[in-house]
Amino acid sequence: MLYQIKLFFSIVFFFVSNTFFLQEDPVKWNVNQNKNDNVIEFTAVIDSSWHLYAVYLPNPNEGPLPTEFHFSENENFNFIGNVIESKPNTVFDENFGIQVSYFENNAHFKQKIEVLDESLLQIKIAYMVCNEQMCIPFEKTYELNLEI
């Protein structure tokens, strides 16, 4: 009997974990350098019924994971200030029991940068998306050739 219970939970875990990891990402990212404004621009197109959480959450130590941008360091460029985001929706979320800030449909982020010499910038974006049934964390990595 104990073997059957372990087998059952192993099978359930296998299907749940594979379903989780095979979930298609509901966010499509576009990353580019705007040389005229000296910024790296990030555009997120979010599938309907999903939310992408903001960089700056009202309760950063509680609730959903914020969107985070991690940049490689290099002597050929300097970051100026912090990531700027478009205006998110801020509401009280019954599931989390706190105020949350999120985006629907699309979101725009910018990071001001000073490029001293052409170089390769590596960017990791870590974020969480939720719909009415589940929340899923994702990570995407991009490389951008910075130009002067």
List the domain boundaries for the chain. 25-146
What letter would DSSP give residue 118?
-
pLDDT band at 23 (very low <50, low <70, confident <90, very high): confident
The answer to whether residues 85 and 55 touch, using CB atoms and an 8 Å cutoff, is yes
pTM over 0.85: no
Kindly report the CATH number that applies to the domain delimited by 25-146.
2.60.40.1250
- What average pLDDT does the segment 44-66 reach? 96
- Inform me whether the pLDDT recorded for 138 exceeds 90: yes
Q: Which range has the worst mean pLDDT, 6-10, 60-64, 73-77, 140-144?
A: 6-10
pLDDT band at 36 (very low <50, low <70, confident <90, very high): very high
- Inform me whether the pLDDT recorded for 33 exceeds 60: yes
pLDDT tens string 64-103: 999 999 999 999 999 999 999 999 999 999 999 999 999 9
pLDDT of residue 22: 56
**Do strands 119-130 and 106-115 pair parallel, antiparallel, or not at all (unpaired)?**
unpaired
Q: Which of 94, 93, 95, 101 is nearest to 54 (CA)?
A: 101
CA distances in angstroms from 128 to 8, 42, 43, 70, listed in the order given:
30, 16, 15, 15
The answer to whether residues 95 and 51 touch, using CB atoms and an 8 Å cutoff, is no
